[in-house]
Structures are given as C-alpha cells and as structure tokens.
Amino acid sequence: MNKFDKISKSQWILDGGNDESYNRVILPKRGTAHSAGYDFYNPNDIVIPSHGSAVIKTGIKCYLDFDKYLALHVRSSMGIKKNLMLKNITGIIDSDYVDNESNEGHILIGVYNYGDSDVSIKSGDRIAQGIINSYYTTDDDNTTKVRTGGVGSTGK
C-alpha cells in the first residue's frame, strides 16, 4: 500500500502550524501520466534568504510497502530558475518513518538558497518531487532495530 495522507491537525499544530494553513495542505500528485515524481506543495508563504535555508513543513506523510522508500528531489524549476536545492541533496523517507512510536511521519523538506537574492515561495507552489523506489538488502542482513522517532532517529 503506497499512499500519501495528511498528518493529523493536532500534529500540524504541534509542529507550529495553524488551522488556516492546515487547510492549505495539498496531497502530492503527478503532473502527467508519465511523470515519475509526485509534486509536493508548499502550504505557507515563505522567503528563503540569499545563502540561507528553511525547512518547509509539508503536512504530508507517506505510507509505503516495507521494501519501498520515497526519494525527495528538488524540482528542476526550483534549481534552475530560483537557485534552490535540497539541504541534504536527496531526502530519503523510509517505510517505517510513518506512524511509529513517537512520530506521525511528517515530511519536512530542507531547502537552501545558493543564489544572491532572496527567494519567495508562495502557498500552493510546487517545491519538490517524491519518487517511490524499491530497494534490496544483502543476503546476510540481520538488522532487527525498530524506528522509534523522526528525522535522524536511527542515528542515535
């Protein structure tokens, strides 16, 4: 079952949002029948300062089959026209990121402005694209650790 859903309103509020902005959260969708990526939308107006960064709270979570992950990439128009890139180049959302013990799975997108001018991103603008991929493990893999948190929690 691979699908996108909105995080709960209570999680949105906990993460610093409000009722009005929660209503602007848009589920990711593909632009054409042959698009690989699902476009992620920005729910709030934001200005990213020149040579600065911001974290965009999407209000989205993603349910994935156990052998899938979601790769987040900057939209080409953001890189080419607005001098923006993802802070971590490519974001990886694992299938166990959603609805675990202490994390609802809110997908956050870190953006860096490498240009010499501030960049405005309006509510409703497409900011990134997510591509669902399969992955494989080695025959001798024996990992049994279970995720219990959000961003960076497996490295603790």
pLDDT digits (tens, 9 = 90+) for 99-146: 988 789 999 999 999 999 999 999 999 999 999 999 999 999 998 777
pLDDT at 73: 97
Domain-embedded: residue 149: no
Domain-embedded: residue 154: no
pTM for this structure? Answer: 0.90
Domain-embedded: residue 127: yes
Output the CA–CA distances (angstroms, integers) from residue 16 to 28, 58, 96, in the order listed.
21, 12, 23
- Local structure of 57: helix, strand or coil: strand
Q: What is the number of structural domains in the chain?
A: 1
Could you tell me the pLDDT band of residue 147, with boundaries at 50, 70 and 90?
low
Domain-embedded: residue 29: yes
Q: Which CATH number is 127's domain given?
A: 2.70.40.10
Q: Which residues contact 141 (CB under 8 A, 6 or more apart)?
A: none
Domain-embedded: residue 145: no
Q: What is the pLDDT of residues 13-57, one digit of tens each?
A: 999 999 999 999 999 999 999 999 999 999 999 999 999 999 999
The β-bridge partners of 92 are 71
pLDDT at 144: 79
Give the separation between CA 18 and CA 11, rounded to whole angstroms. 10
Residue range(s) defining the domain that contains residue 78: 3-136
Q: What is the pLDDT of residues 47-90, one digit of tens each?
A: 999 999 999 999 999 999 999 999 999 999 999 999 999 999 99
Domain-embedded: residue 78: yes
Domain-embedded: residue 156: no
Domain-embedded: residue 129: yes
Are the beta carbons of 26 and 124 closer than 8 angstroms? yes
